[in-house]
Chains A and B, each alone.
Chain A
């Protein structure tokens, strides 16, 4: 009788542990269906925690400048604490006319790895119609909602008075 009791207790403990493990480390079927974080960086056999956590990705941009007759800007993102393979980055170029900012290019968006390296930047360009000096800036956003961290960020880049009027 005592032996049966011990055996039953062990079986219950094993079942509880197995269920808990299945909850925490389920195969990434749900993550694979997510719109983000399902890029080539994810392996089909990878196991990803189903429980997501909030994180703080960082939107990055450079100074809008003239490049080959266009106003041009780049956007990218830094992972910080998200542990995501991809983030959804958008960049919009804005031109200031008579004190008001107008969207002139974009938003151009792409799902890209973090870091800003080769192939990890999004570009927005707008052809200049004249070389009249005008203020420009860009607005960069990033959001992550893959299998791990979810979060978002946005930033305006410094206003630049450049020889470009669109």
Chain B
């Protein structure tokens, strides 16, 4: 059997998922013939193809970053229905030495949601698939490299932002049944502070259950609703609350997790809530 394209290392399909929480207000202008002809699935597929990020769903396909799985948008139907849209792909690119393509993934998701309506993003949930060991660990092309380089290259994109856009962010990393994320938390926190960047300015981490951000449904649970969840929550400030910045942050923390020995799939959740008692802003 072929293990090419949509697989890595173990040959297992590497699923990446993004769920956007908040209120999605559909466009008020109806299409001329009533029901829209496109939906989140077809728009995401089309946008991925247009940007060169889609690997076609045919045998032997090459190029692109992901193959299409699912997508759905659910316009606001009540206060309980907060998952406004979700997108699922399988990664097809070979990962060593490259960050997870979360930033383009969320850019594509954001483009689709913007086509469908207006989303007030309240929280985000990402399933980050297993990651490869960093290239510099294996072949050490440059000693001392602490971050996957494309993540450093991308920092200029976030420079010169309006400081007024900075705000608090809470990020929970959930390793599911793998407890290693908890033991790695201090090392991840240290790593974040050692890397010179100001997209995410670290403040604290917590292993306490009350601090975690848990969004449902949990993508790792599948048919195992009683699955154990080992979590750690980081707090800090983010350059701005946007899918673009969150995409970089997710790839950054995934990179740090891998470098501290956590390579299993992670659920990344984030919102803007502040630590109780901390000053606003």
Contacts and interface: CB of A to CB of B under 8 A. Distances in A.
Interface stretch (B1-9, B130-138, B154-162, B256-264): B1-9
Interface stretch (B32-40, B77-85, B98-106, B118-126): B32-40
Given A128-B223, A156-B58, A161 B13 contact: yes
Nearest to A157: B57
B3 A161 contact: yes
A41 to B, nearest CB: 11
A162 interface: yes
A115 B3 CA distance: 29
B223 A161 contact: no
Nearest to B60: A158
B57 A117 contact: no
A101 B11 CA distance: 18
A113 to B, nearest CB: 8
B68 interface: yes
Contacts of B58: 61, 155-158
B7 A161 contact: yes
Interface residues of A, number: 32
B233 interface: no
Contacts of B223: 69, 128, 131
Contacts of B12: 133, 161-163
A76 B264 CA distance: 34
A117 to B, nearest CB: 4
Nearest to A136: B13
Contacts of B269: none
B74 to A, nearest CB: 14
Contact of A62 (B13, B38, B67): B67
B42 A62 contact: no
Nearest to B4: A158
Nearest to A137: B59
Interface in B48-80: 57-61, 67-70
A121 interface: yes
Contacts of A162: 12-13
Contact of A63 (B38, B42, B57): B57
A115 B36 CA distance: 13
A157 B38 contact: no
B222 interface: yes
Contact of B70 (A67, A69, A96, A158): A67
Contacts of A67: 69-70, 88
Contacts of B113: none
A161 B42 contact: no
A135 interface: yes
A72 B35 CA distance: 26
Nearest to A59: B58
Contact of A156 (B7, B59, B68): B59
A96 B3 CA distance: 13
Given A66-B222, A118-B36, A156-B59, A161 B11 contact: yes
B267 to A, nearest CB: 16
Given A65-B69, A115-B37, A135-B1, A158 B57 contact: yes
Interface string A137-148: 100000000000
Contacts of A160: 6, 13, 90
B15 interface: yes
Contacts of B57: 60-63, 155, 157-158
Interface of A: 60-63, 65-67, 69, 72, 74, 96, 99, 115-118, 120-121, 128, 131, 133, 135, 137, 155-163
16 contacts: A62-B67, A62-B69, A63-B13, A63-B57, A74-B41, A96-B1, A115-B37, A116-B45, A117-B39, A117-B42, A118-B38, A118-B39, A131-B223, A155-B58, A156-B59, A160-B90
